[in-house]
Amino acid sequence: MNLRLVWLLALIALGCGAGSGPVMTQPTVSPGGTWSVEQAAYLQSLARIDEGLAVDDARALRGAEQTCADMAGGLRGRELTERVRERLSGIDAAQAREAITLMTQRICPAG
């Protein structure tokens, strides 16, 4: 797991930043690999589906953003699931649906 991600997750676990206002989902990958709380949570959850999915965190976040764009463009159901399977490679349809749920909860802008 990426050292920056481990550090960020440790801070989250310790409650740093508590009470500092609402967490805003940042739909773009930050330069230099500094992830928002939502992005870090997404990467951690994605690794629970399959550790290999979050090895390259920037790539995983770009893939999530592409999926958000697909959904914003109206892609749904089996087509969306297949596209995510291709994008993440090596996962089955159930894992792709789980990843889509994570993307919707953590990465895709609300609305």
- Taking residue 17's Cβ as centre, other Cβ atoms within 10 Å add up to 11
Model pTM above 0.75: no
The per-residue pLDDT string of the chain (111 residues; one tens digit each, 9 = 90 and over) reads 555 555 555 545 444 444 433 333 334 445 455 789 999 999 999 999 999 998 999 999 999 999 999 999 999 999 999 999 999 988 999 999 999 999 999 999 875
Please tell me the distance from the alpha carbon of residue 74 to that of residue 5, in angstroms, as a whole number: 32
So what's the pLDDT on residue 28?
46
Distances (CA, A) of 49 to 14, 88, 110: 24, 11, 23
Structure-token match 């979050």, residue found: 54
